[in-house]
């Protein structure tokens, strides 16, 4: 329903104070429930935080019509499922709603994507939220689509592990110094005792933040789950949900088999995404939230293509 004709429209009728173009004008932090299309034909409902902006390419225009943007988002959330095609169509509608004012539009959706993850050994499972961001843009009729995810994992320090093994060796030599004949049973008993844990390496909860650019026209279903799986498969030590003792033991084994500095984690991820042909470009930041220090260890890497993402510390 249009506003009554006698109501003033300052954004339309008034002149700008200065005749300048503007890069982006719009709204941020709009909360709307949306449905994300999944590969299995089902939908994943999430509560999204949306930003929508357009440019002012016409310097004679004072302002944009923000209500039009909100109503387009509201209709999109209630009538459309989130696919790459739907996002590009929404950008076209946004630009059409501001014809004569704007030439470009950018849309950002932030949400937690829940996945039910099985335990490592037991038959249990649990839900884990993965913070995700979708960024779609139409700039001078060129489309871009980017997906960002944050994945928590565990990292065990290789240096700490080496130092712990040295202390274990020294404790073993001390306890068995007077023994001439050491049997396998004696060693097994010793290892099961508290002396077998005279020192343990430190681990920390860590995070991989990965941003990828995909072909906006090649993917109907957004590869969010594939992206998360690629990260967890490369790192091998994802944070768990439901855990029984056998799961915790397997988690300890995986940490021991995959000890890594932040540099190691970044290289694992770079190798994995270099093999993924869906990713036109990628940017990766890994953070190891140290248990030894009160600061974090950080590594950043990008694909390194000309004109692509640059390895900035923060993106």
Question: pLDDT tens digit string along 116-133?
Answer: 999 999 999 999 999 999
State the Cα–Cα distance between residues 7 and 297, nearest whole angstrom: 58
* pLDDT level of residue 179 (50, 70, 90 thresholds): confident
Of 12-26, 103-117, 140-154, the poorest mean pLDDT is in 12-26
State the Cα–Cα distance between residues 311 and 300, nearest whole angstrom: 6
pLDDT at 8 over 70: no
DSSP state of 197: G
Contact of 81 with 48, CB cutoff 8 Å: no
Please state the pTM of the whole predicted model: 0.90
| Helix pair 66-79, 84-97: axis angle to 10 deg | 150
Which structure tokens are listed for 85? Answer: 């095609």
Contact of 185 with 283, CB cutoff 8 Å: no
State the Cα–Cα distance between residues 273 and 300, nearest whole angstrom: 14
The torsion angles phi and psi of 24, rounded to 5 degrees, stand at -145, 135
pLDDT at 6 over 80: no
Mean per-residue pLDDT, 174-194: 90
State the Cα–Cα distance between residues 238 and 25, nearest whole angstrom: 39
Alpha-carbon distance values, 55 to 6, 232, 288 (Å): 28, 38, 38
pLDDT at 226 over 70: yes
Mean per-residue pLDDT, 185-201: 90
pLDDT for residue 250: 97
pLDDT for residue 124: 97
């Amino acid at each position: 329903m249009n506003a009554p004709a006698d109501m003033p429209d300052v954004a339309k009728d008034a002149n700008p104070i200065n005749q300048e173009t503007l890069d982006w004008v719009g709204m941020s932090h709009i909360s709307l429930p949306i449905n994300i299309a999944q590969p299995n034909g089902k939908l994943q409902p999430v509560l999204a935080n949306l930003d929508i902006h357009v440019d002012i390419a016409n310097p004679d225009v004072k302002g944009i019509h923000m209500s039009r943007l909100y109503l387009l988002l509201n209709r999109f959330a209630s009538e459309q499922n989130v696919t790459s095609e739907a996002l590009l169509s929404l950008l076209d509608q946004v630009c059409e709603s501001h014809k004569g004012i704007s030439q470009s539009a950018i849309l950002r959706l932030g949400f937690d994507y829940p996945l039910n993850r099985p335990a490592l050994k037991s038959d249990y499972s649990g839900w884990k939220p993965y913070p995700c961001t979708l960024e779609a843009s139409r700039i001078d009729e060129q489309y871009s689509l980017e997906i960002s995810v944050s994945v928590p994992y565990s990292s065990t320090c290789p240096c700490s592990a080496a130092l712990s093994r040295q202390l274990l060796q020294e404790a073993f030599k001390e306890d068995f110094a007077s023994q001439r004949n050491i049997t396998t049973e004696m060693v097994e008993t010793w290892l099961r005792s508290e002396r077998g844990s005279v020192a343990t390496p430190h681990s920390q909860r860590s995070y991989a933040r990965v941003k990828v650019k995909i072909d906006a026209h090649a993917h109907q279903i957004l590869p969010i789950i594939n992206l998360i799986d690629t990260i967890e498969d490369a790192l091998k030590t994802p944070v768990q949900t439901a855990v029984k003792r056998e799961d915790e033991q397997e988690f300890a084994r995986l940490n021991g088999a995959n000890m890594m500095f932040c540099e190691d984690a970044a290289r694992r991820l770079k190798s994995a995404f270099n093999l993924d042909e869906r990713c036109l470009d990628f940017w990766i930041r890994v953070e190891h939230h140290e248990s030894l220090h009160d600061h974090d260890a950080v590594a950043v890497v990008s694909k390194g293509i000309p004109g692509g993402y640059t390895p900035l510390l923060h993106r």
